Amino acid sequence: MPQLIERGLCLTCVHARRVATRRGSVFLMCQAAEDDQRLRQYPQLPVRECHAFREERPTETPAADPR
């Protein structure tokens, strides 16, 4: 069973992308690092502070029609 690691801000950031290797390793890539040289492409986790952090908003599902 894979070990769950604390990911800090990356867990809910819109810039974080999950990258899995063929050997089963999983990494979080920061897509904001492509445009901002101050950021690491593969940051050491957990990230607790980040100037580029943007919280991902959950997709809302429409409420069921009460008819």
pLDDT at position 57: 82
| b/e 18-45 (16+ beta carbons within 10 angstroms → b) | eeeeeeeeeebbbebbeeeeebeeebee
Other C-beta atoms closer than 10 Å to the C-beta of 63 total: 6
Per-residue pLDDT 10s for the chain (67 aa) are 345 556 799 989 999 999 999 999 999 999 999 999 999 999 998 999 999 999 988 766 666 656 5
CA distance 48 to 43: 11
The domain locations on the chain are: 1-53
pLDDT at position 61: 64
Here the tokens at position 44 are 């050491």
Here the tokens at position 59 are 């997709």
